[in-house]
């Protein structure tokens, strides 16, 4: 049991972020929590029953399991509603992560404000600024349009500018 | 850049996904199911020692077959369907559920032609598509519906299944080469210098689906996966020392050569599990569902880094046949009556029951300590009876399901005692008096408001099909495991352990303590087992 838990924790810490990204693309945050838990629970059970050396490629196993979980969780992908296109003037098409110049305190404030946003907006914000994904990629994977993603991010940036001032602008 | 990204990703991990909450939930579930890791166990024999000696200590020793099944995550029906029909176990009831595909005269293949598409700037997309076009010789196989899951097999001839095999063996010849900077976020800390420098090429792998299409265009499907039909090949790769992490280029080439040689000789039988929903509207008067069946292959999109991208995940989308599956035939599978013997009366002895409750605290506060409460009590089993409730039970080729075991405890027991029994109780399953790969999920046991403790069994798992016809008795042997000591330790991310609380020796009654809430903590325990008399069911 000790070896199993030890192995589980090692693999868990090494793979969580990758699986999380996939979940952010394919599922809601609420569903992602259950999907990840089910996936890792199956992994643990397999380790416990078969031994820690039985799974040759844990990452591949976890991804395959997660994909199965998602496929049975959602019968088929539903098209999401297109967001209304908002006029956001003077917004660059893309704001690269390099242009984020925030100190530690500002980040905490921003994250606090981000929590107040709809969960789909939180996902897109994380995928864009955290993983550095392109607008078009996020749009395709989440079933919306690039314009919709752009408008959500622009809306969040606008709110943050209003709250924190230009010196902490995104 | 990385620092800000890292903060955002940490926020996502901890605040959105509740990474530590998930970890704790998984470990907690595992601890409950395992009934604590047993370091050493004292077994106190009940009065009828001869009965215990006859039953012995039941160990579940996974067979190679069971191991492979759990490895792939597929169920027995897919294993049955993908086996060579000449080598299948003789199970007529399952054969009556199997549907064969229609003749292929009217099959229309719809390959995705990307040659004139802007999206085909990607050399990777061309490469994979060309491979699939050149090596796509697939045949629709048999299907079966067991009342819950639709199993559809597919035969991939020649190299058609190479990409599927590579998911498990780690080789990458059918992968799509991607720009490592474009997919930086997929890899912790980045894909690695060997990819960033161009020394190695980074690949993304295709995945595939079987889709059923209804007359009105509605689709439902499942992801294609391997089955135990290739266990021999994977065992060979393992024995050659090729199934390791961080493979060398030589090992990758060796795996590729082995995979291709295997496929050239055997091809690949694979299967998809489909969970159909709202399908009743498409059934004919006899319960038949007719669908066009599509084979779909896709790959994760990637940004080439120059502004272009692959706009469509599908690399291949081909109708490979039509099939008609009777979605009501499973109802005709004969279910044998299962009858419980008279209630079992436990002997008058004193046993210890225990229950562990863990309050993980505020999930938004990683630093708040978890609170642990252990209830332990001596109880007398005089007057305790155990009965099997077989109303609604199913015993057929499709499984042994829906059996409840109800325990009436003495009136002197408190609710805490009953909850502790539910937490301490597990069952070992004997079929015809013998142990084997089969087991009952020990998780579904709870104290009811009417004063009883009820163990609900959804299914006895891992019972071989070929054995079903010969099962005459099913025995559930209850075992109570009570905690004697708990060794609580704090486990750091680097795997080292620290024992901040030492070994707890819980007294009878309630013992409480706080466990560190940072990262993960776990415990080892010693227990005392109290095997009891089995309740037996007869199969008529």
Contact between B95 and B89 (Cβ < 8 Å): no
Predicted TM-score of the model (pTM): 0.54
Can you tell me whether residue B336 is helix, strand or coil? coil
Structural domains in chain A (count): 2
Local confidence band at B441 (pLDDT 50, 70, 90 cut-offs): low
Q: Is residue A46 part of a domain?
A: yes
pLDDT digits (tens, 9 = 90+) for A105-154: 466 677 777 777 777 788 888 888 888 787 777 877 776 777 677 777 77
Complex ipTM value: 0.73
Domain span including residue A18: 2-73
- A69/A129 same-domain check: no
Inside any domain, residue A80: no
Judge whether A132 lies within some domain.
Answer: yes
Are residues A123 and A63 both part of a single domain?
A: no
Task: Round to whole Å and give the CA distance between B67 and A46.
Answer: 9
pLDDT of residue B200: 75
Regarding whether A103 and A59 lie in a shared domain, the answer is no
Among A38, A73, A108, identify where a domain stops: A73
Same domain, yes or no, for A66 and A17?
A: yes
Q: Which residue carries 């559920």 as its tokens? A: B97
Instruction: Give percent of chain B with pLDDT exceeding 90.
Output: 16
Q: Are residues A68 and A10 part of one domain? A: yes
Q: A62: Cβ–Cβ under 8 A, 6 or more apart, which residues?
A: A11, A15, A19, A39, A40, A43
Q: pLDDT tens across B191-234, in order?
A: 667 777 778 777 666 778 888 999 998 888 877 888 777 878 88
Among the partner residues A8, A16, A140, nearest to B301 by beta-carbon distance: A140
Q: What local confidence, expressed as pLDDT, does residue A38 receive? A: 86
pLDDT of residue B135: 79
Window 82-121 of A: residues touching B by CB (8 A cutoff) are 97-98, 100, 102, 107, 111, 114-115, 119
Helix A104-114 to helix A146-164 angle (10° resolution) is 120
Regarding whether A156 and A120 lie in a shared domain, the answer is yes
pLDDT in tens, A34-86: 889 888 988 888 787 777 777 777 887 788 778 767 765 653 333 233 333 33
Cβ neighbour number for residue B416 with a 10 Å cutoff: 16
Confirm whether A33 is domain-assigned. Answer: yes
> Do residue B12 and residue A126 have CB atoms under 8 angstroms apart?
yes
Q: Six-digit token pair at B221? A: 């499907």
> What is the mean predicted confidence (pLDDT) over B483-512?
71
Residue ending a domain, among A73, A105, A122, is A73
b/e burial code for range A98-115 (CB count within 10 A of at least 16 → b): eebebeeebbeebbeebe
| B chain contacts of residue A42, beta-carbon cutoff 8 Å | 73
Instruction: Tell whether A88 is covered by a domain.
Output: no
B392 — alpha (psi -120 to 50), left (phi > 0) or beta?
A: left
**Which of B3, B21, B22 has the most A C-beta neighbours within 10 Å, making it the best mutation to test the interface with A?**
B22
Testing the interface with B: which of A52, A104, A134, A149 to mutate, by most B Cβ within 10 A? A134
> Would residue A90 count as lying in a domain?
no
The C-alpha atoms of residue A42 and residue B2 are separated, in whole angstroms, by 32
- d(Cα A86, Cα B109) in Å, to the nearest integer? 42
The pLDDT value recorded for residue B35 is 38
What is the Cα–Cα distance from B427 to B182, expressed in whole angstroms?
52
Question: Are residue A111 and residue A68 in the same domain, yes or no?
Answer: no
Question: Inter-axis angle of helices A135-142 and A2-26, to 10 degrees?
Answer: 100
Q: Does A91 reside within a domain?
A: no
Same domain as A33, residue A69: yes
Q: Do B26 and A67 touch (CB under 8 A)?
A: no
Q: Are A94 and A158 in contact (CB under 8 A)?
A: no
Task: Give A-chain residues touching B243 at CB under 8 angstroms.
Answer: 56-57
* Domain annotation covers residue A157: yes
């Amino acid at each position: 049991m000790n070896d199993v838990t030890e192995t589980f924790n090692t693999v868990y810490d090494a793979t969580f972020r990758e699986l999380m990204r996939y979940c952010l693309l394919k599922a809601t945050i609420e569903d992602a929590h259950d999907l990840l838990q089910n996936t890792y629970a199956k992994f643990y059970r397999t380790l416990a029953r078969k031994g820690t050396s039985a799974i040759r490629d844990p990452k591949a196993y976890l991804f395959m399991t997660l994909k199965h979980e998602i496929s049975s969780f959602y019968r088929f992908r539903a098209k999401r509603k297109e967001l209304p296109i908002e006029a956001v003037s003077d917004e660059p098409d893309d704001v690269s992560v390099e242009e984020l110049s925030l100190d530690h305190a500002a980040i905490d404030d921003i994250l606090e404000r981000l929590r107040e946003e709809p969960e789909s907006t939180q996902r897109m914000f994380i995928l864009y600024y955290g993983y550095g994904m392109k607008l078009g990629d996020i749009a395709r994977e989440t079933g919306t349009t690039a314009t919709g993603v752009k408008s959500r991010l622009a809306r969040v940036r606008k709110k943050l500018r209003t709250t924190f001032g230009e010196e902490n602008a995104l | 850049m990385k620092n800000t990204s890292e903060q955002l990703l940490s926020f996502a991990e901890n605040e959105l996904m509740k990474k530590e909450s998930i970890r704790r939930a998984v470990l907690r579930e595992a601890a409950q199911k395992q009934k604590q890791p047993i370091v050493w166990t004292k077994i106190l024999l009940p009065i009828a020692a001869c009965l215990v000696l006859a039953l012995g200590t039941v160990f579940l020793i996974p067979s190679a077959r069971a191991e492979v099944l759990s490895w792939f995550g597929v169920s027995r029906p897919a294993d049955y369907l993908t086996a060579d029909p000449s080598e299948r176990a003789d199970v007529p009831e399952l054969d009556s559920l199997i549907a064969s595909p229609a003749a292929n005269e009217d099959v229309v293949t719809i390959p995705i032609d990307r040659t004139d598409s802007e999206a085909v700037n990607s050399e990777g997309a061309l490469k994979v598509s060309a491979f699939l076009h050149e090596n796509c010789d697939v045949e629709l196989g048999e299907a079966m519906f067991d009342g819950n899951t639709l199993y559809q097999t597919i035969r991939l001839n020649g190299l058609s299944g190479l990409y599927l095999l590579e998911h498990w063996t780690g080789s990458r010849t059918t992968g799509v080469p991607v720009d490592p900077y474009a997919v930086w976020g997929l890899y912790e800390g980045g894909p690695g210098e060997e990819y960033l420098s161009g020394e190695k090429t980074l690949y993304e792998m295709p995945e595939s689906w079987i889709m059923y299409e209804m007359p009105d265009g509605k689709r439902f499907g499942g992801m294609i996966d391997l089955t135990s039909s290739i266990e021999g090949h994977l065992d060979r790769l393992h024995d050659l020392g090729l199934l390791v992490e961080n493979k060398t280029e030589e090992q990758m080439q060796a795996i590729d050569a082995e995979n291709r040689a295997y496929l050239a000789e055997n091809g690949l039988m694979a299967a998809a599990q489909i969970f159909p929903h709202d399908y009743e509207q498409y059934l004919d008067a006899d319960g038949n569902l007719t669908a066009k069946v599509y084979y779909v292959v896709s790959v994760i999109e990637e940004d080439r880094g120059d502004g272009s991208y692959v706009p469509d995940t599908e690399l291949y989308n081909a109708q490979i046949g039509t099939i008609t599956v009777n979605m009501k035939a499973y109802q005709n599978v004969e279910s044998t009556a299962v009858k419980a013997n008279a209630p079992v009366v436990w002997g008058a002895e004193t046993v210890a029951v225990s229950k562990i409750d863990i309050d993980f605290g505020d999930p938004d506060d990683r630093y708040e300590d978890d609170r642990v409460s252990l209830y332990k009590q001596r109880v007398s089993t005089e007057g305790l009876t155990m009965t099997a409730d077989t109303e609604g039970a199913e015993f057929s080729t499709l499984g042994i399901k829906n059996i409840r075991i109800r325990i009436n405890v003495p009136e002197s027991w408190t609710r805490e005692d009953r909850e502790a029994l539910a937490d301490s109780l597990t069952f070992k399953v004997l079929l015809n008096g013998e142990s084997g790969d089969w087991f009952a999920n020990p998780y579904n046991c709870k104290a009811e408001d009417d004063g009883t403790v009820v163990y609900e069994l959804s299914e006895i798992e891992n019972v071989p099909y070929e054995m079903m016809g010969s099962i005459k008795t099913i025995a559930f042997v209850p075992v109570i495991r009570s905690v004697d000591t708990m060794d609580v330790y704090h486990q750091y991310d680097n795997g080292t352990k620290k024992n901040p609380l030492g070994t707890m020796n819980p007294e009878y009654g309630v013992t409480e303590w706080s466990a560190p809430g940072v990262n993960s903590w776990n415990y080892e325990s010693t227990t005392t087992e109290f095997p009891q008399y089995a309740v037996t069911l007869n199969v008529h």
